Structure 1
Amino acid sequence: MINTSSIEWSSFKAELLQYPGLLLQFQYATDKWVNANYHITEIKQATITSVDCGGVMNAWTEIIVQLWEPTEEEEGRAMQVKKALSIIDLVESKLALNPKGIVKIEFGNSEFDTRQMYPGEFKIDGDNLIINLTPDATQCKAINRGGSCGTTATGEECCAPAQPEKRKIELVNLTADQNSCTPGNGCC
């Protein structure tokens, strides 16, 4: 997987453990915040196995924390980091989360299509631990490995199926030591 802003599950959790008494807030776009009354509805672990356009197999694990905004406002309800940690403990008591798994936060509401984003900067602002979310993007792993996506300098396409190697066939005259027909000798 290629990205510039990912964080592993062990680092994400270690960051939260430093600030149990703060309120956990998420900013998903400029001046756009997940409502303070959000719920962590589930934590998912997904093992991804893929083959890219260059024919290379890739594998990684993602830990996806899903946030949900209730339609009804809940006054005075804002999640403290220690509440998020208690949900994490509950999940981990039933599912061993890969400490090297890449963390994504899944969120959407009526104004923002549901998507998975990376936790970016962790920032303390007063009583709040703010996690700025950064968008995920599609990528070409072949280009990142130094290959190409499209046409190479030799005219091959990296996304085309691999061509079988051409073999040279050596012709052998199996009848050289035997009587054989040759043009004009009357045997044919």
Structure 2
Amino acid sequence: MNTQELTTWQTFKATLEQNPNLTLQFQYAADKWVDASYHITEIKQAPIVSVDCGGVMNSWTEIIVQLWEPKVRDSERAMQVSKALSIVKLVEKSLPLNPLGVVKIEFGNSQFDTRQMYPGAFEISGENLIINLIPDATQCKAITRGGSCGTTATGEECCAPVTETKTEKPKIELKNLVADGPSCAPGSGCC
């Protein structure tokens, strides 16, 4: 998960609710726009639980809004924000979405491999609400804990699990509790 300021579901939804009469546009790269005939095909909620390279457990929730461009354009004008909100309302009837979930927009077409991107800036331009999408990047979670990624100056790996200090176990003295009498030895007849 990237350490930049991420948009939560409650912020994303509130931004839409503040602009219901605008047209909803997505820009996925410089001068590259999701075609106006796009559809919101689904909204997914993904609880993520992971263990990083340092042995630390992490968890968060992602809300993924999937966009699809049909092969045949069926609209010259992008979806109104109010229509997107009606899809959100329909989804939330069946699936309560975590308000603190991190929003990602999933999109791809024949010129752009499908990927999940973060909503960056929300911009109002004329009658449009433009959501500029920004890519995610992988990173070592040790950095977010104040560590560094790689090998430290002393040669230790930053991501290595914390080693437990071994405490010396007490020594146990074994005593022979059998008296000096008959014992069960092969050929003694005790068995």
With the shorter chain as reference, the TM-score category is: 0.7 to 0.9
Off by >6 Å, runs of 4+ in structure 1: 169-174
**Equivalent residue, structure 2, for 1:59:** 59
1:164: Cα distance to partner? 4.1
The percentage of aligned residue pairs carrying the same residue is 70
Q: Distance in 1 between matches of 2:167 and 2:75?
A: 75
* Structure 1 residues 10-29: aligned runs within 5 Å: 10-29=10-29
- Corresponding letter in the other structure for 1:113: D
Three-state SS of the structure 2 residue aligned to 1:13 is helix
Deviations 1:143-181 (A, max 9, x none): 22112322223322133454442445788999xxxxxxx
| Contact 1:105–1:118 (CA under 8 A) maintained in structure 2 | yes
Could you say which residue in structure 2 is the equivalent of 1:129?
129
Q: With structure 2 as the length reference, what TM-score do the two structures score?
A: 0.84
Corresponding residue for residue 70 of structure 2: 70
Amino acid at match of 1:135: P
Cross-structure match for 1:87:
87
The number of aligned residues is: 174
Distance 1:6 1:17, change over 3 A: same
Report matched runs for 1:109-148 at 5 Å: 109-148=109-148
| 1:3-31 CA distance string (max 9 Å, x none) | 21410000100000011111000000000
Change (3 A) 1:160 1:145: closer
Contact 2:49–2:60 (CA under 8 A) maintained in structure 1: yes
Tell me which residue corresponds to 2:101: 101
The answer for unaligned runs of 5 or more in structure 2 is 175-191
Measure, in 1, the Cα distance between the counterparts of 2:147 and 2:56: 11
Decide whether aligned partners of structure 1 residues 170 and 23 sit closer, same or farther in structure 2, where only a CA change above 3 A counts.
same
CA drift of 1:76 comes to: 3.2
Amino acid at match of 2:113: D
Give the conservation status (yes or no) of the 8 Å contact 2:3–2:144.
no
Which deviates more, 139-148 or 34-43? 139-148
Change (3 A) 1:95 1:32: same
1:47 matched residue in structure 2: 47
Query: What is the TM-score normalised by the length of structure 1?
Result: 0.85
Q: For the aligned residues, what is the CA RMSD?
A: 2.0
Q: 1:153 to 1:167 in 2, by over 3 A?
A: farther
- In 2: Cα distance, 1:104 partner to 1:76 partner: 25
